[in-house]
Amino acid sequence: MDLNAYRVMWLFVFFDLPTETKKDRKNASGFRTNLLKDGFSMMQYSVYIRHCASSESADVHEKRIFKLLPPFGKVSILRITDKQFGNIMNFWGRAEVAKTVQPTQLELF
């Protein structure tokens, strides 16, 4: 099977989970932890992404997410090709942030 930008997939998981009670917070935290254990990376606080080598691999991870769903809240999954992912534009704000001054290296010898 040839890997190409149209067969390789990316899964995005977007979620909005309640955090009013201690149990809600535990469920939300557990959901995020399980996403990380399944190979997802945090893109933003409630947006996680994962690279999948094929559509079949993406199917497996979607089924795992379904099993991890907390009792309350909203979870959405978006599947895109690697070609589409290559067009993503990320911005980190326009304002320049002053760099912190790095301390001088301490030499012992």
pLDDT tens digits for 60-92?
999 999 999 999 999 999 999 988 998 888 887
In a domain, 62, yes or no: yes
In a domain, 109, yes or no: no
- What distance in Å separates the CA atoms of residue 69 and residue 26, rounded to the nearest whole number? 13
In a domain, 1, yes or no: no
In a domain, 77, yes or no: yes
Number of domains in the chain: 1
In a domain, 105, yes or no: no
In a domain, 26, yes or no: yes
Give the pLDDT score at 7.
81
**Structural domain that includes position 27:** 9-85
In a domain, 16, yes or no: yes
In a domain, 64, yes or no: yes
DSSP string, 4-65: -TTT-EEEEEEEE---SSHHHHHHHHHHHHHHHHTT-EEEETTEEEEEESSHHHHHHHHHHH
Query: Residue 46: which CATH number?
Result: 3.30.70.240
- Over residues 48-53, mean pLDDT: 94
pTM of the model: 0.79
